[in-house]
Homo-oligomer: A and B are copies of this chain.
Amino acid sequence: MSANDDLQSILDGIKVGDIINVVLNNNSIISGRCMPRYESSEKDHIIIKLNNGYNIGIKLNRIKSITKVSSFSIVTEELPEKSLDNSISLKSQYRNDIDLSKMSNLPKIALISTGGTIASKIDYRTGGVTSVLSAKDLYTSIPELSLYASIDTEILFNEYSENIGPTHWNLIANKIIDKINSGIYDGIVISHGTDTMSYTAAALSFALQDLPIPVILVGAQRSSDRPSSDASSNLIASVIFATQLDYSGVFVSMHGSISDEQIHCHLGTRVRKNHTSKRDAFKSIDISPIAVVKEDQIEIQKIPSNIILQKKNRNKINKEFNVIPKIKFDDRVFLLKYYPGLNPLILENVQKLGYKVIIIEGTGLGHINKNFFFYLKEVIASGMLVFMTSQCIWGRTNLNVYDTGRDLEKIGVISLSNMLSETATVKAMWLLANYNDLDYIRNKMQENISNEITYITPIVEDVIS
């Protein structure tokens, strides 16, 4: 028996899914559920899911002994008809093998994989993370999914999301239309890298405006086989949102806290990745998430009057959605973040590169140095559309408060209220590809299409009279 076999022997009788107590060499004890190890990872450790949702990896040579607290319970009987009743907590039920024929009474979901961390694992040879897992792999490794939906999986492409752009948005939109027109799905889940997930969510929000069913984008900040992965809890919640949400539209499902307690459902045009690595990196901006999954139960939040959501309506499938949506994108839109010292000649350069629209991410209420005024007049006179957003992120542009703002309005710079600069960029790309008339595009940019502008002038902002 080799040293390695010797280490492996402490795992005798322990199966994936068992609740175990691990006694370390220093006599500290770690309790949790034994998780699967992926093939490419090394064999000399085990992964345990703690009660707080974090996974930790422990090297076998640090382990003194392992005791089984309870075995993995295999649910062999058919799922109860009311398995989706919110009053029944399903967290502790598992199915070891998925028999789709027995799941005919479950809602049907299409899970489309596009790559990213949620579909990736650590390559222990290079130390990096690569996109390799298919949606089918994910489904197999998260048997809880079978409690909520019968899931068809498909790999559309496999890209880190920093490489995803307008061409991919078009591919994803096309695939979604195909799935909807098949008439068999209650919801669609798109697994996607987190880096540009909010850009893709905004793109789909404009391209697919009359969706009959919800489309949920989901990602992971940490890969499935890493300690503290959020992949499985985000994916489970995305399937709950896709099947149980009463609204259609494009949403993002990601952790709402650093534990597994809350998964938030964000509007596709109002969400932003606000942390490089934390599990609760995604935040709804200027509004609350529209729904939350807590303990596998969905809680719909009170939808404020300034948010317009369409009811989910499967009957619309094959009736209204056969009209081909406008799913093209034209990338001749330049997002210009202003900062002190920026050379205004950049405007001419952007125009020479062939750009048709500039989204300025200005300061405060939507300002830019007055040394830009002359050049702004020039590019606008030559047919360029120039819009103003704010680098503050929260709040809204308002060009009526200060001299600078009024000057910018006179020049023809158009204020976009509380539209996120990223969403504004994507919206302009969509309008530019699908409409020819610049006046129409200028007007549509200022009009709320998909909750990208939610600011309503308050009746009384301050009690000034």
Instruction: Give residues in A with beta carbon < 8 Å to B.
Output: 30, 45, 54, 56-59, 62, 127-130, 160-166, 169, 194-196, 199-200, 226-228, 273-278, 281, 329, 331, 333-343, 345-346, 349-350, 352-355, 361-371, 390, 392-398, 400-404, 406, 422, 425-426, 429, 462-465
Q: Are B162 and A362 in touch, CB under 8 angstroms? A: yes
The complex places the Cα of A223 from the Cα of B403 at a distance, in Å, of 14
Contact of A166 among B160, B341, B393 (CB under 8 A): B341
Q: Are A228 and B274 in touch, CB under 8 angstroms? A: no
Contact of A368 among B162, B340, B404 (CB under 8 A): B162
Given known A56-B464, A162-B404, A392-B281, contact A333–B341 (CB-CB < 8 A): yes
Q: Are A462 and B54 in touch, CB under 8 angstroms? A: yes
Q: Are B393 and A274 in touch, CB under 8 angstroms? A: yes
Q: Are B196 and A340 in touch, CB under 8 angstroms? A: yes
Q: Are A227 and B464 in touch, CB under 8 angstroms? A: yes
What are some 8 contacts across the A-B interface (CB < 8 A)?
A58-B463, A59-B465, A163-B371, A165-B340, A199-B339, A274-B394, A278-B395, A331-B341
Given known A59-B465, A370-B163, A392-B281, contact A425–B273 (CB-CB < 8 A): no
Top 6 closest pairs, chain A to chain B, by CB: A276-B395, A331-B341, A162-B367, A195-B363, A195-B364, A227-B462
Q: Are B367 and A160 in touch, CB under 8 angstroms? A: yes
Q: Which residues of the other chain, B, contact A370 by a CB distance below 8 angstroms?
A: 162-163
Q: Are B129 and A401 in touch, CB under 8 angstroms? A: yes
Given known A199-B339, A364-B195, contact A401–B128 (CB-CB < 8 A): yes
Q: Which residues of the other chain, B, contact A338 by a CB distance below 8 angstroms?
A: 162
Q: Which residues of the other chain, B, contact A273 by a CB distance below 8 angstroms?
A: 363-364, 392
Q: Are B58 and A339 in touch, CB under 8 angstroms? A: no
Q: Which residues of the other chain, B, contact A339 by a CB distance below 8 angstroms?
A: 196, 199, 335, 422, 425
Q: Are A353 and B349 in touch, CB under 8 angstroms? A: yes
Closest B residue to A465 using CB positions: B59
Q: Are B395 and A275 in touch, CB under 8 angstroms? A: yes
Q: Which residues of the other chain, B, contact A30 by a CB distance below 8 angstroms?
A: 463
Given known A160-B403, A353-B349, A390-B276, contact A57–B465 (CB-CB < 8 A): yes
Q: Which residues of the other chain, B, contact A426 by a CB distance below 8 angstroms?
A: 340
Q: Are B465 and A58 in touch, CB under 8 angstroms? A: yes
Contact of A276 among B355, B397, B425 (CB under 8 A): B397
Q: Which residues of the other chain, B, contact A349 by a CB distance below 8 angstroms?
A: 349-350, 352-353
Q: Which residues of the other chain, B, contact A162 by a CB distance below 8 angstroms?
A: 338, 362-364, 367-370, 404
Q: How far is the CB of A170 from chain B (nearest CB, A)?
A: 11
Q: Which residues of the other chain, B, contact A128 by a CB distance below 8 angstroms?
A: 400-403, 406
Q: Which residues of the other chain, B, contact A335 by a CB distance below 8 angstroms?
A: 337, 339, 342
Contact of A45 among B194, B346, B394, B465 (CB under 8 A): B465
Contact of A129 among B129, B329, B402, B464 (CB under 8 A): B402
